[in-house]
A and B are shown apart, each in its own frame.
Chain A
């Protein structure tokens, strides 16, 4: 009797303790970082189906490829997320090298592995090396957060900021990069072609017309993954006897490509922080005053889209998606499409303040990550941006600090 009572009591206490612990559990688990402190995650207003497709795309974006699942044979990195850490800007470890083209006549090194260098290889294969004498440039991965809004804009909207002959005489022109599309490209009603070429808007030189092309090329050129759009593995032609990897092609299905494109389209835009801080507000005015906003156009509104969450939305990317001549300092001698070697697409500045959480606690800015601080990024501006840079230089240190504080709040 006593024994039973005792055991019962012990059991009871044990259960009580367990229930207590497990009900307090939620508090014992690590909290999510505040949404404005991260760049990844879906945008608001997705339907259940869309959220599920986003989650599938998210998983595919993180998938690490191995030789058994098709990696390579030559490649740069084994997953999208390996370069686009947390959907933010990449780390110098993830830079890629492009080579072989120095004017608008095209790439002269296609038979030597151009335009992209695959400097890594799976066991048993030889990676490419940069051919000596080839013009080249190094590209750091841009942030992809919010990119769906930029993809949703119409060509007409982008062209409205173009000023190829500097008709308004402000020293800033802004030209689109016209690109010959790949055979699988399907133009939309919002495209405005010129002689069969289309306006590119993604990549450092704005050489990718849409997110499908960007994704197909990334799988193919960055990871060595074939799809029905690119059925042949990247092969190292620099040495003899290098073939495909033995994995049957396509190595990713169409539905995976579609999921990833949808994921990119529906990534949430970076959320500004401390927008009502007086210094930040003052910094924002300085940004406009010293003409940064001539290229880094703050505000855009999307037209009607097949995804309701992307329709008629105002957003703040701080870019015009156009190319600008940035002067000899940023001229690497390499180019893509109709861009000049000194021309670069205006980098969207949203999410700038969160760069560090994806870049290992420090800044790597500009197309190749050469700037280690916001100030040095601004000081690297030349060419069409010289005027603006000079105005920045003339600011007193308190105004400079306010401008930097504003940039960090984005």
Chain B
């Protein structure tokens, strides 16, 4: 039902080509009955609507500590975007994602931009929060790895978007540097971040709340700031923050608890040290005010990072694909889900619950928009107490392409 509804949303776009004939269509009147046809998108005197998207699918052969999960085929996501310039100063972009088949259907973004000045563009709608870089720059075909970085999924819950509004803008600093900023107020987190089945602080648990596009959990907004700088040849780096109150401190107007905050700080970079080399990474830190009476699996501090090294090996000559390129990539990643110490042991005792990961692979790009990748990853996870690490690994083969 939900799918049908969403698909019907796109139907008008396919009718684009017929806009002129529609207008002349004598069957369409100005009466309420025909309001469905009397829509600006169907008339020729405006900028076109662009429709696009991308697909990510792969096979996965993996296991943990000798328990072999075997081979599975995964349709990770199919994303559709639409972009439209309404005028020279207003534009609209939306991204709708079907994840894991049709298990999840999400409005990843629905942005209306209204430019007042180059430095002051008003943005409203469903915003992909600018925290780190992966959350905003997450399109499958852009990456050499099938797996998204753990820091960007299990700490920063990519893709993390919320209804909200704010401003953004960009400018130049001399000849070589560009900079930009973003500042938004959006819906925020809820208390599932410290009450969920992963048994650890997990910001992504808020995504399970079906009401979060409708109603704030506690009637308070989350702030989000980012600024980034880009050198014309060296690359880009950015710093960002988002934070707000996550708990239901007010029930039916009565104050029942302290306001408890969650804050996320991130640093991201994408560097080009050589013509054929790119290094991309992200570091994030999460701070949560967990009630003292709660339990320590749900840590008040988390941090993690990933670093991808992508090296172009050659431009293989594949007939029909003049721009093809072959890359080797390597990822190092780490997440510490709980930076605290046990209060139950004299002299502390570190809480582990942490993970190291390596991911390596080759990716072939027959053209810029398409990537065929083969990856192998290995992860070591140590539980709360730091018992011998549980090991998991997988071999993956997949394709991802824009369309």
Contacts and interface: CB of A to CB of B under 8 A. Distances in A.
Are chains A and B native binding partners rather than an unrelated pairing? Answer: yes
Interface of A: 2-3, 6-7, 10, 18, 21-22, 25-26, 28-33, 64, 66-69, 71, 77-79, 82, 85-86, 91-93, 95, 119-124, 126-127, 357-361
Contacts of B212: none
Contact of A95 (B198, B256, B344): B344
Contact of B248 (A79, A95, A123): A123
Given A29-B68, A30-B66, A67-B195, A92 B295 contact: no
A2 B317 CA distance: 13
- Give the interface size bracket for B toward A: 35 or more
Contact of A78 (B66, B251, B297, B318): B297
A132 B68 CA distance: 52
B196 A66 contact: yes
A28 B66 CA distance: 11
A28 B195 contact: no
A68 B195 contact: yes
Nearest to A34: B66
Interface in B23-78: 61-68, 71
Contact of A3 (B199, B320, B352): B320
Nearest to A138: B344
A30 B64 contact: yes
B293 A359 contact: no
B319 A123 contact: no
A357 B320 contact: no
Contact of A33 (B66, B320, B385): B66
Contacts, number: 114
A277 B177 CA distance: 70
Residue of B192, B318, B387 with most chain A CB atoms under a 10 A cut-off: B387
Interface in B364-403: 374, 376, 378, 383-388, 391-395, 397
Contact of B395 (A28, A64, A69): A28
B385 A91 contact: yes
A224 to B, nearest CB: 12
B385 A85 contact: yes
Nearest to B317: A6
A93 B293 contact: no
A30 B64 CA distance: 6
Given A30-B391, A78-B295, 15 more contacts: A7-B320, A21-B374, A22-B395, A25-B395, A26-B68, A28-B376, A29-B61, A30-B64, A66-B195, A71-B195, A78-B199, A92-B349, A93-B385, A360-B349, A361-B387
Given A85-B383, A120-B295, A361-B387, A30 B65 contact: yes
A18 to B, nearest CB: 6
A366 to B, nearest CB: 15
Contact of A124 (B65, B67, B256, B345): B256
A93 B342 contact: yes
Interface of B: 61-68, 71, 191-192, 194-199, 247-248, 251, 256-257, 291, 293-297, 318-320, 342, 344-345, 349, 352, 374, 376, 378, 383-388, 391-395, 397
A362 B239 CA distance: 41
B387 A18 contact: no
Contact of A121 (B67, B293, B397): B293
A18 B68 CA distance: 19
B386 A360 contact: yes
A255 B68 CA distance: 28
Nearest to A120: B295
B80 to A, nearest CB: 29
Nearest to A364: B345
A28 B394 CA distance: 8
Contact of B342 (A22, A68, A92): A92
A282 to B, nearest CB: 29
Contact of B293 (A85, A91, A127, A358): A127
Residue of B71, B248, B385 with most chain A CB atoms under a 10 A cut-off: B385
A110 B347 CA distance: 33
A18 B374 contact: yes
A240 to B, nearest CB: 15
B387 A86 contact: yes
Nearest to A38: B65
Nearest to A72: B195
Contacts of B293: 119-121, 126-127
Contacts of A25: 61, 395
Contacts of A120: 293-295
Query: 4 tightest A-B contacts by CB?
Result: A32-B66, A360-B385, A30-B391, A29-B63
A52 B104 CA distance: 30
Contacts of B199: 64, 78-79, 82
A85 B353 CA distance: 13
Nearest to A360: B385
B296 A93 contact: yes
Contacts of A359: 385, 387
B324 to A, nearest CB: 11
Contact of B247 (A7, A68, A123): A123
A6 B248 CA distance: 64
B197 A66 contact: yes
A22 B383 CA distance: 30
A178 B261 CA distance: 51
A85 B387 contact: yes
Given A85-B385, A360-B387, A21 B395 contact: yes
A123 B68 contact: no
Residue of A2, A7, A95 with most chain B CB atoms under a 10 A cut-off: A7
Residue of A67, A68, A91, A127 with most chain B CB atoms under a 10 A cut-off: A91
Nearest to A24: B395
Contacts of A18: 374, 397
A22 B174 CA distance: 52
Contacts of B349: 92, 360
Contacts of B345: 92-93
Contacts of A29: 61-63, 66, 68, 393-394
B396 to A, nearest CB: 10
B198 to A, nearest CB: 8
B291 A123 contact: yes
A376 to B, nearest CB: 15
Contacts of A124: 248, 251, 256-257
Contacts of B296: 93
Contacts of A31: 65-66
A32 B65 contact: yes
Nearest to A62: B199
Contacts of B66: 29-33
Nearest to B62: A29
B68 A122 contact: no
A2 B66 CA distance: 46
Nearest to B208: A68
Contacts of A126: 293
A7 B320 CA distance: 10
A6 B318 CA distance: 8
Contacts of A10: 318
